[in-house]
Structure 1
Amino acid sequence: MSTQVDDLRWMQATIALAARSPALAAPNPCVGCIVVKDGVAIGRGVTAKGGRPHAEAMALEQAGEAARGATVYVTLEPCAHKSNRGPACSDLLSAAQPERVVIALTDPDPRTAGSGTERMRAAGIAVAEGVAEEAAAYQLAGYLSQQKRGRPHIMLKLATSLDGQIAMTDGTSQWITGEASRAHAHGERARFEAILVGRETLRQDTPRLDVRLPGLEERSPERIVLSRSPAPQGWTGITAPEAVHDLEAQSLMIEGGAGAAAAFLRTDLVDELLLYRAPVLIGEGRTALGDIGLTNLSDAHGQWRRIETRHLGNDQMERYLRTRAA
């Protein structure tokens, strides 16, 4: 097997490792790291709850002296800045002396931003960059959004009938989609630090917005309501979509309703769409979206790129990313 193919295979495994618990690492990025020697993983790490220890520190501790001469795969450039919570990962790797370090993404944090790579090369370690970069960027989307845009990565989730309705005219919406879709949606909730609904959804449905999957209950996200009225106990309130720039969360999921969804789309703050469609027709009912500010049909094209589709029972799930300039 070629080095290029081998690197891609191991980096994909490293990204999958980090994808298990992205919200737990906050406020740090959730990084994955695997140490490989003679085709065998001898150390694994993922950023721990609360941000420490870092993935590299955990993986190197598992590998021990065997890390010398190994290949280390890491989803984000090892940090180079000093911290009272632990040593810089580029220093740990320099001391461990692997033969190679393979990195998916350069860290945009100015405290590292290439310095970690330079430090390891100065220590005589070969460094390869940009392996599975797109997949790693998706896994680290929340961290990258906060670094580059000063706000969370925002995903809008919609569960609709085939004709685009989210409820009947009387507001009945339980349940349009099936059990498999609802379980999948709870798994998505567990990936996000915060979850938002509009004022009317909160008033009419009093949603719990928790994670109701066995073993993942503690990963329920912070609850946010978009409203000009004071938020109830246990909720955080924001008065406009632009206020997401004041949130510390790296990831935000929007669950409803049509007004809140439209408000975020109008301000071009939605980065990802998660659509569940059930094989039912409702006819006249409540539509998934209000006015999103579209005045020319041609402007609607080229805005979204589908990255995933799958069947969930009888339902269809589709995932799209917003197409933006770099």
Structure 2
Amino acid sequence: MSGTQEYCCTIYLKSLETLIKCFLKFRFVFIPLLLGGCDPESKPERINSSPIAKFNISTDLPEIGIPITFDGSSSSDSEGYVTEYQWIFENEDSQMGVSIKHIFTKTGRQTVSLVVTDDGGLSDTSSQDLFLSLAILAEYPLSITSPSGLSLSYDKQSLWTVSDKPGGGVYNIDFEGHLIKSLDYSGADLEGVASATDGGSLWIVEEFLGTIIQIDTAGIVLRSVELSGVRDGGGLEGVTVNPNNGDILLLKEKDPGIFLRLNDQLEVLLYKQIAFANDFSGMDYDASQDILWIISDQDKILIKYKIGDGVIDEYPFRINKAEGLAVFPDKNILFIVSDDAKRLYRLTLP
């Protein structure tokens, strides 16, 4: 090859290399030109992808009746922007907005979903399950060791409770847990208390003795009876009175759970095994609805129960070692006493 030919080949190769580099750099210009030209004013078409729905909840322990904030501002759209936020609640009306407040009216597990839509019309959904419990409106410390059992006083001005420790007594407290007085009575293992229909006495139960006892408000024993078939497994736990007929209603805790109904002469009218909870730790009669309210310590639920019909509904709560309850339908209030925490809790009666 002559020098001239070699020179020409070198120039050609360098030009080809330059052309390839330019093509790679400006291919978005060359390709449209090769295909018939392009409009210099046109822009590449934007590819729209779905937005991403995300949301935060203002509490880890949601309760009914308490406003809860749902915030969807963490949702995003990579090519545009989110134009719509729709919140969907089970069996309730949906709400719109980036951030909203919602009040639940039913306890238990519920699913909340956020649907976000972007400016291109595409959407995405994010869901979270919530477990809603009864709302604790207030809680008060108690000076009583191992409180167990609770009852509204006959005049509805205070509460009665007992201590289940050996030698424990019977105590009258106000609605904020302050001690009003204690009775001169020493129990072996007291587990329940109820105001009698005569207005001047109380019914108390001794768990391991399997005994129901009537005492006056000075602590003097008026009468008692030992019941059969209530000492195996868990013993007697709850006692309440039906003011309409004077019947005394009792609960055996578990293994098996037993529901008993006695008349005013302490004769057993009903002895029935029950198994709708793992244990039964307290009970109160609601004359306004002719029903029983029962609590289970292990299951942490409040049970609405109709004698003859069975369980009507269940309401979870977040109180440990709930050992007694008292309902105040006139005020729509429920009181629960905790053994471990030595506290009195006030809740809204569902």
- Given the two structures, how large is their TM-score scaled by the length of structure 1? 0.26
Please identify which structure carries the higher helix content: 1
Question: Which of 1 and 2 has greater Rg?
Answer: 2
- Given the two structures, how large is their TM-score scaled by the length of structure 2? 0.25
